[in-house]
Amino acid sequence: MPVLSVAVRKKVKHGVEAVLFRRKPLRFLVLHSRKQWKGWEFVKGGRNKKETELASLRREVREETGLRSFRLLCRLPVVSEFEWDEKTKRAAFNRERYTYSSIVSYLAEASAGRVRLDPLEHDAYKWVSAEQALKMLRWPGPKRALRAALSVLRAGG
């Protein structure tokens, strides 16, 4: 009996992630997520329709941290991709029926200023060393982004 192959079309939600840091001493901003899962992450979020990556990045940094200015260093050579689990697919923010996410990462130096969290998304933040961040970050994509950020910074970025 022939095997039928069914092509499942992925509905991709494109997003951005900001690896925000401050120098002297070198510290990275991690946020504690409370929305769809609990754990530490970098600033990240989905791109709105017709929004550029950079516009999305600026909006997400502002919405999630309250920081108004930062210096963008570069787009990191990291793209995190993952299938959405059933719980995430049922979430209120999945009206578009997304099944897959693709998130590009950027490195940015945060300006001085106080972090003000969106309490609906995050309940804590910390400025931590790279070693601490690697231990705290839950998912492999942000860990890869942090390692790429460190390479850029060590090369003089």
pLDDT in tens, 111-122: 888 999 999 889
Cis peptide before 25 (omega within 30 of 0): yes
Residue 122, φ and ψ in degrees, nearest 5: -135, 145
Q: Using one digit for the tens of pLDDT, what is the confidence trace for 121-145? A: 899 999 999 999 999 998 899 999 9
**Continuous segment of H or E residues that includes residue 87:** helix 86-89
Q: Among residues 15, 18, 21, 31, which one has the least CA distance to residue 119?
A: 31
The CATH superfamily assigned to 12-154 is Nucleoside Triphosphate Pyrophosphohydrolase (3.90.79.10)
> Mean pLDDT throughout 28-45?
91
Rounded CA separation 22/5 (Å): 50
Confidence of residue 10 (pLDDT cuts 50, 70, 90): confident
Sketch the domain layout of the chain as residue ranges. 12-154
Q: Using one digit for the tens of pLDDT, what is the confidence trace for 52-107? A: 999 999 999 999 999 988 999 999 999 888 676 666 555 545 555 666 678 999 99
Rounded CA separation 123/8 (Å): 37
How many separate helices (H) and strands (E) can be counted in the chain?
4, 7
Whole-number pLDDT of residue 89: 55
Rounded CA separation 156/132 (Å): 22
